[in-house]
Amino acid sequence: MGARRRYDLVLNAYARLDAYLKELWTWLQGQPGYRGRTHLLITTDHGRGHTPQDWRHHRSTVEGSESVWIAFASPRMARRGEWHDAPALSSSQIAATLANWMGVDWNAEHPSAGAPIR
């Protein structure tokens, strides 16, 4: 594990990532060819445990490892901040969402996939 069991290093990495994403988004919005036309979706490939004892792990036996977070910015979606009292999202919706942003109906070819996030 890159953080060597040190949660402070994980938090520092999150802060650096947040700064990088802000810089990227600010640059994109400053470019006429990208401003108002660019979609950004960030997620993880797996979740992690929820307790101090298991936050480092993501095995299928670790409760919480099936949960991922998804962040996105899109000119097709209203800014809502962190969603509360909304249906749970699933990683099965990511491909359909990306395809939808490009005007493609992912579910027509993959009916078992999740619906696009709107």
**106, 96 contact by CB (below 8 A):** yes
Q: From CA 3, how far away is CA 18, in angstroms rounded?
A: 17
pLDDT per position as a tens digit, 32-82: 999 999 999 998 876 666 676 666 666 667 776 667 788 989 998 888 888
Model confidence pLDDT, tens digit, residues 102-118: 999 999 999 999 999 98
Give the CA distances from residue 37 to residues 52, 87, 89, in Å, rounded to whole numbers and listed in that order: 41, 27, 24
| 56/17 Cα distance (integer angstroms) | 19
Q: Which long-range contacts (CB under 8 A, 24 or more apart) does 44-48 make?
A: 44/68, 44/69
Residue 40: helix, strand or coil by DSSP? Answer: strand
49's tokens: 């445990």
